[in-house]
Amino acid sequence: MNRSLTSPNAALPRLGLPNLGLGVGLRAAHFSHILEHWPAVDWFEAISENFMDSQGRPRYVLDRIAERYPIVLHGVSLSIGSRDPLNLEYLRKLKKLADETAARWISDHLCWTGVAGRNTHDLLPIPLNEESLRHVVARIRAVQEILERPLVLENPSTYVTFADSTMSDWEFLTRMAEEADCGLLLDVNNVYVSSTNHDWDAAEYVRRVPHRRVVQFHLAGHTNCGTHLIDTHDGEVIDPVWALYRLAHELTGGASTLLEWDAKIPAFPVVHAEVLKAKRHMSAALPGFAASPQPRIQKPSTAPAAIPIAGLPLAAPSEAIGQPLHFVPPEVR
């Protein structure tokens, strides 16, 4: 597929991709429940790396689910921001998995995950400047050529900034999507987490991104550490994040919405019920966001206790972060 020119679907909402409705992240803890009950879920998102090399039970379960539900593949190891060469074997396996499961699209994160071929299993931030933009755009276009379909990239949660960044998060995301002609996965919880950590306006972020390129939303819970938030995917979605979702849904006209729950995972009906809450926010009026000037999203009530550095208040030594900056738990094989 030659994507050297702008895709003919670039002007369409969601790049012409469907709105799948309300979905749930596919996790091993729920395999038995899904196969026994075939719940009334619109679609499932599968972590690509958990199935690319598996021909055992995980792949058997995925194949059975793909026979009944739309599947989207979501990766954590593409490392689109890395200086390492693209991993062509990884991309070959990813394309094969997408073809075999009839994946509606493939997504990953705007980040880098390692260097010199070593994977940190974390989603690491990149400097937001012209050099990074040119590098990422070129790699996205190359990946789309190999996968023969649009790539959808997610805004990650971030915890540090770079002194040589020259543009805002939303400006970088917008220019990247337009220049690479790719889709966006707008993680609303990540917007809230990053805006709190770096003290910028989450509502402005949602208003500034290119809405027609938003193919999908993510919702999740996070952990409030007092001085900062961590994207842990271990609980319910809080009210300020729902408020952001309402705004994003109105501005985009709606897109496939998925709930992530990756730690302290409850029974499947609890997870399903949480994503169904999105129905309350899909057509609601938005008086809280309609007026000017725009109100700020509610911040944690606990005041920072340490000196802020690069926009992020650092925890005291006794409050050091005890879990990864982006929680990517392993699946059971």
Is the pLDDT at 332 greater than 60? The verdict is no
Distance CA 310, CA 93 (A): 39
Instruction: Specify the residue for token string 């793909």.
Output: 66
51 lies in a domain? yes
Distance CA 223, CA 226 (A): 9
39 lies in a domain? yes
Total structural domains within the chain:
1
How deeply is 45 buried, as exposed, middle or buried, from its count of CB atoms within 10 A (0-12, 13-18, 19+)? buried
238-278 per-position pLDDT tens digit: 999 999 999 999 999 999 999 999 999 999 999 999 999 99
Distance CA 56, CA 47 (A): 16
pLDDT value of position 41 = 98
293 lies in a domain? no
330 lies in a domain? no
Joined tokens for residue 159: 């915890």
Distance CA 208, CA 225 (A): 28
pTM tops 0.85, yes or no: no
CATH number for position 181: 3.20.20.150
5 lies in a domain? no
Q: What are phi and psi of 124, to 5 degrees?
A: -95, 140
Q: Sign of dihedral through CA atoms 324, 207, 245, 186? A: negative
70-127 per-position pLDDT tens digit: 999 999 999 999 999 999 999 999 999 999 999 999 999 999 887 777 776 778 899 9
Distance CA 12, CA 206 (A): 19
- Structural contact between residues 247 and 203, judged by C-beta atoms closer than 8 angstroms: yes
- Structural contact between residues 201 and 240, judged by C-beta atoms closer than 8 angstroms: no
